[in-house]
Amino acid sequence: MKNKLQSKNTDVVIVGAGPAGCAASMHLSKLGVDHMLLEKECFPRDKICGDALSGKVVDFFRKTNTTWLNEIDHRSAQFLPSNGVIFGAPNKQVLKVPFSTNSNQNKQAPGFISRRIDFDTFLASKVKNRLMENTEVLSAKRQNDIWEIQTNQRVIKSKIIISAAGAQSNWARKTHNFKIEKDHFCAGLRAYYNGVSGLDPQGFIELHFVKDILPGYFWIFPMAEGYANIGLGMLSSQISKDKINLKQKLQEVLALPQFKERFKSANLEGEILGWGLPLGSKKRPLSDDGILLTGDAASLIDPFTGEGIGNALNSGKLAAECAHLAIQSKNFAQSFLKQHYDQLVYQKLWSELRLSRIMQKLVRFPWLFNLVVNKANKNTTLRHTITCMFEDVDLRAKLKSPKFACNESPTFSKYHKCYKLAKRHVLPGNCLPI
């Protein structure tokens, strides 16, 4: 049977047609690079996710194709505009933070909430001329700088592979030996409910840092047509240590006083599904000879918020640019790809990922998180800083330093002492430069 498969030559093969793979395909087409985009399933297909499209996603489309952004903005049945985030502290204090729209000249929504089945289908429709659905990669071997990729449909030869099929696919396990590191891996549950009360009319997403699941969180994301995406995520190391049953834990959270009444008349739609999130809380190699890892395959999920779509899109774009340069230079060695891909990805993302890792660890101290939320509710400067952190990494870095409140708060010294105490317990050495 294998000998009967039709052979095809191309410059680049992208494995996986999620956000990272579609972004890579978009930009390879712009650069005039011949490529194929392989997806083992057929659209529409679902992906377990929180379904929030952050400002990073909006910004990506604003820079890539404003027509597509306008199209998303007008799909009211599938894309609900989101205007901010509500943080729930362990002591049940609430902080409402609007997303900044200062940089939005066209007045699009600063964020959206959309089922991944709808968002991924939308992306796939934009690259359909390069897309091969129902095409599963069975094996790949490299010889003389050429990949020979065996699929269930045909044999494909290419100069470089962009891996965008996630971290836990059979492809990922075979080609780049992905292994779960429990301190850098999160397990999550997602469920769809209708009839949830108290959803914000402006589409604010909710992140509740409930004491029993720290440093994880419980989320409620309002969606179009009266639905809500709800779920929780916890570090795999914590789940293993405490022998936690996530489905049971989710029911316990829903029964808490601050949520019980909101779900009194709510109905579960479909199944409660679980999945794993490879967190970007440590640096990893993102390339090898003739291969580039993107999105979840590169473990680029934000360790504090769990957001991964924005980083997936940006890494797909950078992978496309690197592949184009490698083809022009006729250099597919890991040393070359590391210089022109790994370093650029981490140059763009690492300061934010590192800060999110620190924030994730600080959440282990409920008193500190309670203090920050309390201060933000009273301090205009702090609230503005938190608003801006969703768009500006430098301001996020500013947020982690107690110095931002130095001239704003009479209780700054108390905050500073708490911060220094947490710092000693969070990370070893001088890893929080201020």
* Domains, the chain, with CATH or none: 2-83+106-179+283-351 (3.50.50.60), 182-278 (3.30.9.10), 365-426 (no CATH)
- What local confidence, expressed as pLDDT, does residue 127 receive? 96
pTM of the model: 0.88
Report the chain's C-alpha Rg in angstroms. Answer: 22
- What local confidence, expressed as pLDDT, does residue 180 receive? 81
- What local confidence, expressed as pLDDT, does residue 5 receive? 58
Residues of the chain falling short of pLDDT 50: 1-3, 404-416, 418-419, 421-422, 425-434
